[in-house]
Amino acid sequence: MGRLKLQTGINAIEEEPEECENSNSNKATLACMINSEIGAVLAVMRRNVRWGGRYISGDDQLEHSLIQALKALRKQIFSWQHQWHAINPVLYLQPFLEVIRSDETGAPITGVALSSVYKILTSDVIDRNTVNVEGAMHLIVDAVTSCRFEVTDPASEEVVLMKILQVLLACMKSKASAMLSNQHVCTIVNTCFRIVHQAGTKDVDNTESTLVNGSDTVKQETGGTNNEFSFGSRTPENGNLSSDYDSQPLSTNFTSNAETVIDENIVMAGSGKEAVPYDLLQMTEPYGVPCMVEIFHFLCSLLNVVEHMGMVSRSNTIAFDEDVPLFALSLINSAVELGGPSISRHPRLLSLIQDELFRNLMQFGLSMSALIVSMVCSIVLNLYHHLRREVKLQLEAFFSCVILRLAQSRYGASYLQQEVAMEALVDFCRQKTFMVEMYANLDCDITCSNVFEELANLLSKSAFPVNCPLSSMHILALDGLIAVIQGMAERIRNGSLSSELAPVRLEEYTPFWMVKCENYSDPSQWVPFVRRKKYIKRRLMIGADHFNRDPKKGLEFLQGTHLLPDKLDPQSVACFFRYTAGLDKNLVGDFLGNHDEFCVQVLHEFAGTFDFQDMNLDTALRLFLETFRLPGESQKIQRVLEAFSERYYEQSPHILANKDAALLLSYSLIMLNTDQHNVQVKKKMTEEDFIRNNRHINGGNDLPREFLAELYHSICKNEIRTIPDQGAGFPEMTPSRWIDLMHKSKKTAPFIVSDSRAYLDRDMFAIMSGPTIAAISVVFDHAEHEEVYQTCIDGFLAVANISACHHLEDVLDDLVVSLCKFTTLLNPSLVEEPVLAFGDDTKARMATVTVFTIANRYGDYIRAGWRNIVDCILRLHKLGLLPARVASDAADESELSADTGHGKPITNSLSSAHIPVIGTPRRSSGLMGRFSQLLSLETEEPRSQPTEQQLAAHQRTLQTIQKCHIDSIFTESKFLQAESLLQLARALIWAAGRPQKVNSTPEDEDTAVFCLELLIAITLNNRDRIVLLWQGVYEHISNIVQSTVMPCAHVEKAVFGLLRICQRLLPYKENLADELLRSLQLVLKLDARVADAYCEQITQEVSRLVKANASHIRSQLGWRTIASLLSITARHPEASEAGFDALMFIMSDGTHLLPANYVLCIDASRQFAESRVGQAERSVKALDLMAGSIDCLARWTNEAKEAIEEEEVAKMSLDISEMWLRLVQGLRKVCLDQREEVRNHALLSLQRCLTGIDGIDLAHGLWLQCFDLVIFTMLDDLLEIAQGHSQKDYRNMEGTLILAMKLLSKVFLQLLQGLSQLSTFCKLWLGVLSRMEKYIKAKVRGKRSEKLQELVPEFLKNTLLVMKTRGLLVQRSALGGDSLWELTWLHVNNIGPALQSEVFPEQDSEQLLQKPGESGVSMVPDEMGSVTSNETVSLEGTGTVG
């Protein structure tokens, strides 16, 4: 076998000789050790006179048998030849064990003998392979547990007891411990328990420690499936237990008593078949599960308070010595900790926990001892961890009847109890899935209470300091709340957010109490299942509320929500009564007792929902009558009890002969209950009276006396409450309720175990968010320590995270509103220096950083909260605390780089690295400016340096604002969700307020300007979503523009912001171009004083806009706005140059002229031409622009012919004709200008436009319009001006009239061929003659013009000759006959009487008969102003109309 392992000290001094030498050395070593132990025992024995002398037995003097045995062993040990494992241990243990057993030895001797056995056990001499190891181990246990000794003094007694525990512990730790039987392990435990109470208060700690150490050995040695059973402890307070156990002295035989104690407690505490002890055969097998069950049962029995101590009726507290329960609870706790989930594999152990243990924990949970309550809560926490699948309803009962009662002072709990309960609750809350599982398993179960909701409300309320300072209890509750919400936030951070859950709806009726889930471990199935159940539960609660007001309407409501069938059936109504909390029990009782047939059917169905299996009659009756109030009328009572008796007899007949017996006995119990507990009944019924009253009711026979006596005493001790609670508060756990709970636990749905996904977090958070935010806010408000602040801030951020991820916008808004109050930024400034006050206020700074952290991280889901955030920003702006870039447009880096100035980088202008040098800042409203003002306050002795405190406060303020990243809210607004962005814009508009025409302070205007800057910034940052923002932005700017009557920064920012928006967005939003450009019409609505002040800058901006975006403006509407803006500038001295520059950009070479803007540009050009602002040269350029545009008309005509169909060509031709007419009309107006140069140039330009129309198709009728509206009108107006105005106003009108007459002659001759075809040609021709006649007679400066006298006849002669050659002027011709001929000469003779003979001499009479077009043109005179032959040819070739 090799050498034995000895103690460390022995091994340390060993060398490494050959194997046989090692073996011999080991043998000798062990022999020496035993020899020394024998010597030690003998030495102590000899100190006593009794053992030092010789005993006289007859004639011989002999030593005492104990000494002889030891000496005999001493002789043998060195002579044994075999290895130690081959030697029977009994040989060398027996003498020591005899000493231990002997009642003649004193405590010192027994103690030394125990030490010797302990040494042998711990030397590893005995192991599994040792001969007769089983017998040896049994012998040791039997001897030690039946140890006897004489007690001489308390100290020596304590030593012996301690050594007994050491030996028992060594037995359990020994390699041979596996040979111990179940019975021996039970005996060891029982001995340890006895020693605890034998020793009293002297050494409980060490004793209990022994049990803990022993439990580890049990755990290791049982192995396999048994290794989970063990027990341990925590150190309790010392104390004595005056129980029956102390009546038996320790000096008696422990083994037999151990059996007795355990068996007694099994009988005492057990109920039903679980309590049956294991048989003798199992108990003698090597130890394993049976001994664990027995020990656990024994420990549970120590908690059986009702049996051991008795409880005051309806008392919430347990008042007795706490040692025993603490001892038991601590060991039970260790057993659960070490056993873990494996306990569930052993039904008897599990049954003990589910029933007896939990029942006792419910009682001890209400103990006045904080230690006991704490231990109970620790056990329940361990049970939750390991066995929650098996103790669902027990957990519900524990929280409802213990935690929720203890944690609130209104139920009479002391502060200590409240604190322990709250600590326990917070421990539970720190378990990541605890609240989720409570919600899924209990709140979503119609038969269970809303534990999650109650716990969340409890935590919220407990965190509220009401009329008192903040205490540790408030902080504790806050920790619990924050643990819950941080658990939710963590599930989100894990990336485990479940998909959006659809709202639950019930489309049709299904029995709500029958709904089942296919698979409780598959989230895809149980999540919708529990959400449906919760929906049903909520609806049932609403239905209960309706029912309590009007039963009929309540049932109708439930039918409407598909929870009851359209045609009511008894079962569904019965289940509604049975499973709905909050019903008025009086109404339920009246309904069930009603004689109506339907009500009777409901009553029987209602009774059928109860499980009375194996239940005592009084217990069943208590449970039945707890659910409603028993009606007062005897007939109703009878009906109710009949239904109850029928159900009870059906399930638990027991010794009852029939249901009538059950009915009569139930009646009798009700009467007894009234008799015993009604104060008006003076003479109470005795037990004999009760038994006598119930004779012959069991089918003519008597019921057993013991049975009736038990019922009698049960009713006497515990009243059946016929007026049950209406559900207010939390119930007590009565024995009958516990029995019912155990029945329900067998049928309840499986416990749902949640994982790390956020399946139900949204629903849960919606329930608890409001109270949670309120609670955290109140604590934050009352707190004074920074660590509490930080806890609250963590909570706020977790709430924000959850709200955002689950799209709970209202919750996030509430949070923002609450937080903004703590920033102190919304409070009216009462302090002299708010900047320094802010720097000194840690809470305000932390709140401010949190608000802006939420705004930056979760802005997508902020709605109304933006108003508060904007208010904070405005307050910081007023204090000069904002970074320079907050209102800048991040999309325009070029502007930023130009605007930052001083070579500073484009970053936050606040620096926390150092306190800047105090000097003149770039912006006096900035933070540095604000700080420098602080240093130069108006005092007699200005401070040159701030104090250290002020510097520190200033530095903290800098750092706080830097952490806020306020600019990111606006520069990153392009990532905000649409609705949030819209709300942010509305908040800015709201904060700016409607501009006031009067009574607005500079501060108000500054605020309004700043808001507008921010609004424009987010508008520019969101060009892709301009449609969303545009309406609000436009209306706001419109209000500003139309309500401002004097120049100011506000209207300036509005106007130029609008222009900037248009400049930036036009290239990207062609579909919005019209809308954007139409908005610029606001500029036209500016008050005259305002417009005048900003006209030049506006024009420059418009010019920039046009040059950058001309190609993007396509509609007439857009161009109309541009043209209007440019036209206005024509008469403004400063602005006209920029305006004309923009117009030239559009019209030069026709680059940006379009059919859409042609007429508008012509009108604008006309206005510039007419404008007296600037040099005449610019007017001339404007006329050139107008005249040059004729080429565009020709080009468009050609393009139209090539590109589009005939119908479209006709329409386009009509449009072009209209444009041309507008062009010449515009030029006509400029022809009347006072300035000679402009006037004459306009005439030439008009002539060019009337004659240079190659490629433009103009209708005949249009020319008639042209002559009437343009040429004739212009001639008339010029003549009127020449005759009616002085030379000073219109210089050299004579030259203008000559040019006008030339224009008339040229245009008429060029168009003659086409015009001659018109039916109204005669009228047109007479109009020409009429104007010539007027002009020749015109007086310029009071006298007729010689030049006109000379030129007009020449023009007329030339015209007549052309008409003659064309055959138009012929006597009796088809075109007009004699009338045209006669009328012509009538006018001609007034102008030049000799013209007729010159044009038609007699020798030319033959030519009068020639056809038109055949005659030559050589006869046309070539004088000044006449049309030459070449010109005539040209006119004939190209000047036709149509």
CB 869 within 8 A of CB 826: no
Strand partners, 57: 60
Which residue, chain included where needed, has tokens 């420059």?
A: 1100
Instruction: Write the burial class of residue 581 (CB in 10 Å: 0-12 exposed, 13-18 middle, 19+ buried).
Output: middle
Tokens representing 459?
Answer: 């935590």
CA distance 1241 to 1310: 21
**Could you tell me which of 1238, 1225, 1161, 1226 has the C-alpha nearest to residue 1192?**
1161
Helix (H, G, I), strand (E, B) or coil at 106: strand
Number of neighbours of residue 294 by Cβ within 10 angstroms: 27
Residues of 242-274 as b/e, b for ≥16 C-beta within 10 angstroms? eeebeeeebeeebbebbbebbeebbeebbeeeb
Strand partners, 701: 698
CB 185 within 8 A of CB 142: no
CB 387 within 8 A of CB 381: no
CA distance 628 to 641: 13
Where are the alpha helices (H) located in 550-610, listed in sequence order? 551-560, 570-579, 585-593, 597-607
DSSP single-letter state for residue 698: B
Instruction: Write the burial class of residue 1256 (CB in 10 Å: 0-12 exposed, 13-18 middle, 19+ buried).
Output: buried
CA distance 512 to 540: 10
CA distance 1324 to 1318: 9
Tokens representing 1200?
Answer: 């139209």
CA distance 1315 to 1442: 9
Residue 45 CA from chain centroid, whole number: 80
End-to-end CA distance of the chain: 133
Number of neighbours of residue 1011 by Cβ within 10 angstroms: 25
Where are the alpha helices (H) located in 415-564, listed in sequence order? 415-429, 434-438, 451-463, 472-493, 523-549, 551-560
| Residues contacting residue 481 through CB under 8 Å, at least 6 positions apart | 429, 456, 459, 460, 463, 772, 775, 776, 795
Q: Which of 237, 633, 784, 1346 is catalytic?
A: 633
Amino acid at 706: E
Give the helix/strand (H/E) hosting 338. helix 323-339
Annotated active-site residue 1199? The verdict is: no
CA distance 196 to 1260: 131
CB 1327 within 8 A of CB 1320: no
**Could you tell me which of 154, 24, 142 has the C-alpha nearest to residue 82?**
24
CA distance 1243 to 1229: 10
**Could you tell me which of 406, 400, 401 has the C-alpha nearest to residue 420?**
406
Amino acid at 1052: E
* C-beta pairs of 214-217 under 8 Å, 24+ apart in sequence: 214/168, 214/169, 214/172, 214/173, 214/188, 214/189, 215/331, 215/334, 215/335, 215/338, 217/169, 217/172, 217/173, 217/177
Maximum distance among all Cα pairs of the chain, rounded to whole angstroms? 209
**Could you tell me which of 551, 562, 565 has the C-alpha nearest to residue 596?**
551
Tokens representing 673?
Answer: 């209950």
Residues with a known catalytic role: 633
